[in-house]
Copies of this chain bind each other. A is one copy, B any other.
């Protein structure tokens, strides 16, 4: 494979090379890449801003995350934060710090992933920064989105008698990660056996190429449902529930048998002697939505496919409870993934 050194381009040449394939599509993008700052026109819409810093060896492992998937995922996880506000992502900036280990072709792969995500979700690339790095790859993405007055959903709006809903299934991304870790030796070495991924495509995809729930935000809008509180599940259901409950000053009761689990993820957990419910509660990176809706919306919400009601909020003094399959009550603890510990 061809290898072009990054130094051959220079900073401005490189930015031009990496960004020229992107086309800006949103009317709110007045000026994208190429000046001191991008210019946006949000008219009467609110502006949503979220940002993520991803560092090699902490947030991703290039041994098993192909650069194109990494670019896709890095963009999508930021879109997910905007959907979690009940908004629509519209623009991103992408900054990268790269060591000499990376070639221009590597960065092309990474930006191809970014571009794929941008096209799928209707987001424009409007800026960024390109720099050398002494070690590894550093990625910083900021996403800007639009929200409508009165429709933006925060974490602190849950009332004490709301329904607690989650989208999709939980724990799959974590089980995908466990599988990749197990097969990593095969990946990295010159081993003759191929890694065994048969029948595991779903959990791998959940880990390596997650999607953000644009579809759910659209469905909620169509059904006339505005959640009382919402966030995306990036650190595990337990951790996110604690955020919503503490910010909304409510308690909660969720039911183990209502937590949506994918079959492949359950089989993988079985194989690895792990508990899939623990993975759903504490595993990260599912990028599903956790939200609360008023009891009055019950009829509307059960009619929406892909949403599970996992429990309800309570008065704050009742705490955060998980009700097990036998009816036993377990206090929820956040053991969410924490890159600092």
Contact = CB atoms under 8 A, between A and B. Distances in A.
Contact of A127 (B6, B34, B49): B49
Nearest to A93: B51
Contacts of A154: 31, 35
Interface residues of A, number: 75
Interface stretch (A40-48, A201-209, A271-279, A315-323): A40-48
A193 interface: no
B95 A53 contact: yes
A87 interface: yes
Contacts of A145: 37
B340 A51 contact: no
A144 interface: yes
A9 interface: yes
A36 B133 contact: no
Given A46-B40, A97-B58, A341-B10, A53 B129 contact: yes
A142 to B, nearest CB: 4
A30 B149 CA distance: 11
B51 A42 contact: no
A42 B47 CA distance: 7
Interface stretch (A77-85, A110-118, A302-310): A77-85
Interface in A327-341: 338-341
A55 B131 contact: yes
A191 to B, nearest CB: 26
30 contacts: A10-B338, A10-B340, A31-B154, A35-B156, A35-B231, A36-B84, A36-B85, A37-B48, A37-B81, A38-B49, A39-B46, A42-B42, A42-B47, A47-B47, A47-B144, A49-B126, A51-B128, A52-B95, A52-B129, A53-B97, A53-B138, A53-B140, A55-B97, A55-B132, A55-B133, A55-B138, A59-B131, A97-B138, A131-B339, A132-B340
CB-CB nearest 5 A-B residue pairs: A140-B140, A53-B95, A37-B50, A36-B84, A40-B47
